[in-house]
Copies of this chain bind each other. A is one copy, B any other.
Amino acid sequence: MKRLTHLESYVRSVRPEFETMLGDLVETPSVSSDPRRAEDIARTATLAKQCAERLGAQAQIVTTSGYPVLSGGWDVGKQYPTLTIYNHLDVQPAQEPEWKQDPFVFRKEGNQYRGRGTTDDKGPALTALFACKYAVDQGVPLNLRFLWELEEEIGSPNFQDALDQRHVVPRPDSVLVSDTIWVSRQRPAISTGLRGLVAARLSLRTGTTDVHSGLTGGGARNPLAELCAAVHACVDARTGRVKIPGFYDEVLRPTAAEMKQFLSSGFQVSRFKKAYGFRSIRTENCSDLLKRIWAAPTFEVHGLPGGHMGPGVKTVVPPSGEVRVSMRLVPNQHPRKIFSRLKAHLKKHNPDVRVESSGQLEPFRGVTQGPYAQALHQAVQAGFGKSPSLIREGGSIGAVALMERAWKVPILFFGLSLPEHGYHAPNECFDWGQASGGIRTFVEYFSRVADHSAGGDSSLRSSGQALRSE
């Protein structure tokens, strides 16, 4: 109780510094998918290192074959367990016409923070950092570390490089991943699983140059029309049903107990529609919708570049086109198997369509029982004054599967984003309510993990795979 009183004044006192740091990070456009932003990524790494050092942590820029990873923290003693918090500091592109401001100018409006990266994931990263600082200052007997990636939005292609450097990225006893989203502001949510991803580029070239559709139309193949047919061969666009043979073979369907938990999360179809701005969706049934977004795989079309995109009508038959697609996977689907099935299916449908992988991520099931899960549940209750619901996450975090494979320690999720924060969308924002509640929750969690550990709960000192079966 005494600790929480101190905590309140700490939270109040760090707000200006939190906002300055968040502003500096948001105004450095770390768009990992855009090669022209490479310098901004490098600047973000330096900036993040400075932020950590200003709070007394040591921090190291770990080089990889791609963009670096930031690794650091406060080592308080080898006798204590280590907890690593994962966040990422790269961001999505921000070219949507709907932006009401320059996405890379930080704006504070009351309790709201606006700009690309505020909620995904720069705000939560700083929230955790400030919580660590407090816990360390209070003498919480835990080695608190952070791991900040700069290639999360492109599927973590080089994160393994960082994990391989064990002297600078030490294996912790548990991991907390803070890059997930609540169902609603009214009730905190703990994610217990992630969907995987198979992204692919389908391309077709039938000519070498734009040709006149009057002079050649009828004889010329139309690569865009053929790619539309290829998409139609893969998915029933209205129902979302994927038509690739074998696609659903390994899907682990959610249990009745899980479905019950999903339904008690406070999820509302109408709120979902409003939060994401949908005019209509594929189902209005709550149970069906939750199954679709958290526990079922998908096939999406993201864009079909090719042909005339400029102003006006141009009646040409283009020489080529491509479709960018991705599939979200659920446990126990295997990205490589699914990609092979897509390839085989399209080869049968139209052998001229080239299918290339644009990234694969495994689906993931997190820790839902045992002392860590319990500590997190209680910490959220303390930090936000409300008991959290156990949900799943429809998104994918590539680094998670890699950390699990490398470290074999429990990985838990606690994110701070809200549906209205515009995660991966225009007008992204974060807010002080989530940041301050987040600092409280993280501090409480660290404290409980330390208490359990000191109380001889040996299961909190990981000894490898064993713990994962909790």
Contacts and interface: CB of A to CB of B under 8 A. Distances in A.
Interface in A267-303: 272, 276-283, 289, 292-293, 296-303
A425 interface: yes
A220 interface: yes
A221 to B, nearest CB: 6
A87 to B, nearest CB: 17
A93 interface: yes
A313 B324 CA distance: 8
Number of copies: 2
A282 B326 CA distance: 30
A301 B307 contact: yes
B211 A301 contact: no
Contacts of A212: 394-395, 423-425
A351 to B, nearest CB: 11
Given A195-B214, A303-B318, A307-B304, A313 B154 contact: yes
A167 interface: no
B310 A215 contact: no
B231 A237 contact: no
Contact of A235 (B225, B305, B326, B352): B225
Interface in A201-225: 205-222, 224-225
B34 A207 contact: no
A14 interface: no
A204 to B, nearest CB: 10
Nearest to A225: B237
A416 to B, nearest CB: 15
A314 B92 contact: yes
A300 B208 contact: no
B326 A424 contact: no
B277 A394 contact: no
A220 B328 CA distance: 13
A110 interface: no
A65 to B, nearest CB: 17
Interface residues of A, number: 101
A214 B279 CA distance: 19
Interface in A406-433: 419, 422-427
Contact of A312 (B33, B220, B311): B33
Contacts of A313: 33, 154-155, 199, 302, 324, 326, 358-359
Nearest to A197: B315
30 contacts: A33-B311, A95-B310, A209-B276, A209-B426, A212-B423, A213-B328, A214-B328, A214-B394, A215-B276, A215-B395, A215-B423, A216-B278, A216-B394, A218-B293, A219-B272, A222-B240, A225-B231, A225-B300, A226-B237, A228-B304, A229-B232, A300-B315, A302-B313, A302-B317, A303-B307, A304-B304, A304-B306, A309-B309, A313-B358, A315-B424
Given A221-B237, A305-B309, 14 more contacts: A34-B311, A36-B311, A95-B310, A195-B214, A215-B276, A215-B393, A216-B278, A217-B298, A218-B297, A219-B282, A222-B237, A224-B304, A228-B237, A308-B324
Q: Which 10 A-B pairs have the closest CB atoms?
A: A214-B395, A33-B312, A303-B307, A208-B277, A218-B292, A225-B237, A212-B424, A228-B228, A228-B231, A224-B301
